[in-house]
Structure 1
Amino acid sequence: MNESDDGFEPLFNGHDLSGWVVQPRQYGPVYPGGPDVTEVLTVFPSNYNELAAEHPAAWTVEDGTIVGRQDAPGSGWGGYLVTEEKYGDFELRLEMKPDWPADTGVMIRRRFDSWDGLQVLVDHRQSGSIGGFFGNGLGSFHAVPFALTAKFDESGTAVALKEDDPETSVEPFEQSKADMLDFAGDVTAFLDAWKWNDWNSLTIRCVGEIPRVTTWVNGVKVAEIDLATLEAPDYVAGDVAELLGSSGHIALEVHDNDPMLGDGRWAPGAACRWRDLRIKSL
């Protein structure tokens, strides 16, 4: 890869998936040494990982963009596209264009052989969050500044994002979720910046052996979390640091569906598109 003048290197060559590996969605322990997700959430079969391995998400390159879809479309199975290389301290910049609804995200400090890592959420669906965090295998903490849903026109077509309504929420926002953040962005500023059915930029800065992670969407600061000082149920910073180490892989997500949200998590035929992925080591 040729380094650009601003110090950023491309993570995606615009032509094929060289440097990336397709992996099915797999579940593991809720926290280091804890019970497996499939033991806690009995809506999933105990042999979920075995079944999921037969249906990895479909990742393609179309018009210079990475496109992720369920495999087969509408099947409910998810997966990841994972970098071959590991990254420690970095700033990652990319552009994203998710359909509605499409529950996706960017994982950082991810282990290659498990689902463990920190997820930057791009939950473009009812009661979702964009720019917040979820601790995959790290205690399943859900640290977000706000929750979102869609506005619909008279024909029932989604036309914009708006703040989620607590009266109709499928995953109610609670202040305790924002309290886990060192910085919680303003929902109005986010909504003013977000471009519906268009490309939006996401910047992720990750610094520290037990990292502090900050996110921006279209230049608007959305959230910041310090995993060294985070207080959350089943979260122990030292255990997480030992599990993840000081560097990890980056992964893009296609979510699976579940009985709680069904097609509201990932609509049949939906996709998320990614382009201009660039990273700079810090």
Structure 2
Amino acid sequence: MIRFRPDWRGLSVPILSASLLVLALGVSPAPAQNKGQTLSEAEARKDADYAVQGEYVGKRTAGDDEGKVGLQLVAQGQGKFIGVAYPGGLPGAGWTGKEKIPVTGTRKGDVVELIGGKDGEKGSGTWKDGRILYKDEDGNSGTFKRVVRISPTMGAKAPKEAVVLFDGSTAKHFKGGRLEKGLLREGVTSFRNFGDFHLHMEFKLNYAPSRRGQGRSNSGIYMQGRYEIQILDSFGLAGKHNECGGIYEIKDPDLNMCLPPLQWQTYDIDFTAARYDKAGKKTANARLTARHNGVLIHKNVDVPRSTRASPVREGVDLGPVYIQNHGNPLHFRNIWLVEKREAGFVPIFNGKTLAGWHKNPEKIGHGTGGSWKVENGVIAGEQDPPGSGNGGILLTDKTYGDFELLIDMKPDWGVCSGLFVRSNNRGQCFQMMVDYHDDGNVGHIYGEGTGGFNTRTFDIFGKYNDKKELVSLTTKPTKVAPPKAFTISGNDWVSAWKVGDWNTARLRVVGSPPQITTWINGRKVNEFNGRTFPGKGYDKVGITKLLGAKGRVAVQVHGGKGWPKGAKCRWRNVYVRELN
């Protein structure tokens, strides 16, 4: 239920009467409005038509019968208005959902005259001194007052686990991000990419009374840059797929919950991404549930395709949050989301013991296995004993073919670790490097024990304070560039990585030889194609024969004297989704 501002809470719920209308507000005549003009907020609040536009609630009395009605009035420019009366109350607050009574209005000096239905067949009236005074077709009279509804999710605080995309302090989480008086402007794409999630956002439409249709505050919020829920000033309109709350070209909202321009509004969206098999064929459509200003407008809707104008094509990759620029100025605030673990991911670490895991069974180049313990629900690895140079790997008992992996990692600065896939018990594998030290790399693919091929395009370096403590990171291009393939830029990698905190890696491993894609905190880092990679040290035939089509997942403590004494690499929340 949308709440009212305190001024109007004496009116039990947003309710108005069934056949209206005329409205009276003590305002000055409307100023001249250029056709197509978008007024600034300061200009709009001085405009007489803006003072009339809005939502009203009231009731009429006919003997012992009290009829409740909601009314929405929409400024059309030059003293003209259209509107809708809703028997039972406003949409989402009492309207029966059956009858709508069209309303038209014209300013005459300080008075706006309104008629309901065709030629006043549903009533007429006048407004003056801030009240709506009207008579219906049967001569019953009534009064209305203006209300300002506030979404119950307005100002919702981001949970601890949320990814905060915009809190008013910076636009750095968006490509093309622009700040305007602490608000975010339209036309931005999140740097981070996402799978399934719950999204909260708040937006404010501009006031452009002389514009029509798709020219009034046109924008859209695109899940994964693919699936659009429209943003539009469709206050008082029919509520179609191309209006506010609609899934563009797919489905109308169940109810038009658009509020007037310059009032803050909310979207709360639960999104489930499309599903794909290991060949990249879609096996299930995307689905979404949405609430507009706290009212359910879509419930678990099947979305069969991406929006025609979407910047990202459908596919297995994660995708960004995209807010469209359609040439109209809009403002946004309080944007955050909570990622949901997609269906099919199962834990392979129970958070209590190392059941299901084992150290390398025989001595390898890194050592006899290193030290591995569960500390506060986290796998912690270090050399055994600390600083001795004796490392090793911790491997899953189970082998995996085609799969996706999620894992949180928190390496101490200075450690040289790695995340192994398709590994054998000797640690020969495809490794996602976790070389978290000067001249290191995190996120690119390396051939561990298989020729040393490398896909890294940059090395990371620390920035330190006077106490020689790590405060931030920078990157430099590698001396020898690998063959061309997708890789994140050094600057984008730095913006994705969280120094001194947990970071989430995601890998997709498909085929033999495999295609491997890596993400860190939702940012795609590297794509390696084992079928076509022409890099030095890569022997496609030999590696395929050595490793086969299945292998273990493993984490590494590097052997040798480079590992700082007492340093650890920590891992948690380890999940696998097998692709059959």
Q: Normalising by structure 1, what TM-score?
A: 0.80
In structure 2, give the amino acid aligned to 1:19: G
Partner residue in 2 for 1:195: 498
SS in 2 for 1:184: coil
Note the 1:44-123 alignment, pairs <5 A. Answer: 52-53=367-368, 56-112=369-425, 114-123=426-435
Partner residue in 2 for 1:280: 577
Superposed CA RMSD in Å reads: 1.6
Deviation per CA, 1:176-230, whole angstroms, max 9, x where unpaired? 23x2x52111111111111111100000110112100010001111111111111
SS in 2 for 1:143: coil
Change (3 A) 1:128 1:5: closer
Change (3 A) 1:25 1:276: farther
Note the 1:261-280 alignment, pairs <5 A. Answer: 262=561, 265-280=562-577
Partner residue in 2 for 1:16: 353
Partner residue in 2 for 1:240: 543
In structure 1, give the amino acid aligned to 2:479: E
Asked if structure 2 preserves the Cα contact closer than 8 Å seen for 1:116 and 1:137, the reply is yes
In structure 2, give the amino acid aligned to 1:237: K
- CA-CA distance at 1:174 after TM superposition: 2.6
- CA-CA distance at 1:5 after TM superposition: 6.3
Identity %: 37
In structure 2, give the amino acid aligned to 1:98: P
Q: Distance in 2 between matches of 1:86 and 1:109?
A: 8
Q: Distance in 1 between matches of 2:493 and 2:406?
A: 17
Using CA pairs under 8 Å that are at least 6 residues apart, name the structure with larger relative contact order, 1 or 2.
1
- CA-CA distance at 1:235 after TM superposition: 2.4
Deviation per CA, 1:63-101, whole angstroms, max 9, x where unpaired? 100000110001111110000000011110010000011
Q: Distance in 1 between matches of 2:541 and 2:576?
A: 27
Q: Distance in 1 between matches of 2:474 and 2:374?
A: 31
Q: Distance in 1 between matches of 2:479 and 2:404?
A: 29
Asked if structure 2 preserves the Cα contact closer than 8 Å seen for 1:118 and 1:136, the reply is yes
Note the 1:177-192 alignment, pairs <5 A. Answer: 177=482, 179=483, 182-192=485-495
Partner residue in 1 for 2:558: 255
Asked if structure 2 preserves the Cα contact closer than 8 Å seen for 1:22 and 1:81, the reply is yes
Kindly indicate whether residue 526 of structure 2 is the aligned counterpart of residue 223 of structure 1.
yes
Q: Distance in 1 between matches of 2:395 and 2:357?
A: 5
Note the 1:145-156 alignment, pairs <5 A. Answer: 145-156=457-468
Q: 1:174 aligns with which of 470, 479, 490?
A: 479
Partner residue in 2 for 1:130: 442
In structure 2, give the amino acid aligned to 1:210: P
Q: Which residues of structure 1 form unaligned runs of 5+?
A: 28-48, 167-172
Asked if structure 2 preserves the Cα contact closer than 8 Å seen for 1:25 and 1:80, the reply is no
SS in 2 for 1:142: coil
Change (3 A) 1:148 1:234: closer
Q: Normalising by structure 2, what TM-score?
A: 0.40
Partner residue in 2 for 1:34: none
Asked if structure 2 preserves the Cα contact closer than 8 Å seen for 1:138 and 1:235, the reply is yes
Change (3 A) 1:216 1:110: same
Asked if structure 2 preserves the Cα contact closer than 8 Å seen for 1:145 and 1:223, the reply is no
Change (3 A) 1:25 1:145: farther
SS in 1 for 2:481: helix
- CA-CA distance at 1:25 after TM superposition: 5.8
Asked if structure 2 preserves the Cα contact closer than 8 Å seen for 1:145 and 1:222, the reply is no
Asked if structure 2 preserves the Cα contact closer than 8 Å seen for 1:94 and 1:275, the reply is yes
State the aligned residue count: 238
Higher strand share: 2
Asked if structure 2 preserves the Cα contact closer than 8 Å seen for 1:25 and 1:256, the reply is no
Kindly indicate whether residue 364 of structure 2 is the aligned counterpart of residue 26 of structure 1.
yes
Change (3 A) 1:142 1:218: same
Q: Distance in 2 between matches of 1:268 and 1:227?
A: 36
Q: Distance in 2 between matches of 1:194 and 1:115?
A: 26
Q: Distance in 2 between matches of 1:152 and 1:212?
A: 37
Asked if structure 2 preserves the Cα contact closer than 8 Å seen for 1:207 and 1:213, the reply is yes
Deviation per CA, 1:216-261, whole angstroms, max 9, x where unpaired? 001111111111111133422111111111010111000112xxxx
Asked if structure 2 preserves the Cα contact closer than 8 Å seen for 1:94 and 1:277, the reply is yes
Asked if structure 2 preserves the Cα contact closer than 8 Å seen for 1:102 and 1:123, the reply is yes
Partner residue in 1 for 2:133: none
Q: Distance in 2 between matches of 1:244 and 1:176?
A: 26
Q: Which residues of structure 2 form unaligned runs of 5+?
A: 1-340
In structure 2, give the amino acid aligned to 1:10: P
Asked if structure 2 preserves the Cα contact closer than 8 Å seen for 1:90 and 1:280, the reply is yes
Structure 1 stretches of at least 4 aligned residues deviating more than 3 Å after TM superposition: none
More moved, 266-275 vs 15-24 = 15-24
- CA-CA distance at 1:7 after TM superposition: 0.6
Q: Distance in 1 between matches of 2:546 and 2:535?
A: 17
- CA-CA distance at 1:158 after TM superposition: 1.2
Asked if structure 2 preserves the Cα contact closer than 8 Å seen for 1:10 and 1:276, the reply is yes
Greater Rg, structure 1 or structure 2?
2
Deviation per CA, 1:36-82, whole angstroms, max 9, x where unpaired? xxxxxxxxxxxxx8xx33xx311000110000011000111111000
SS in 2 for 1:91: strand
Change (3 A) 1:25 1:118: farther
Higher helix share: 1
Q: Distance in 2 between matches of 1:192 and 1:5?
A: 25
- CA-CA distance at 1:175 after TM superposition: 4.2
Q: Distance in 2 between matches of 1:84 and 1:246?
A: 16
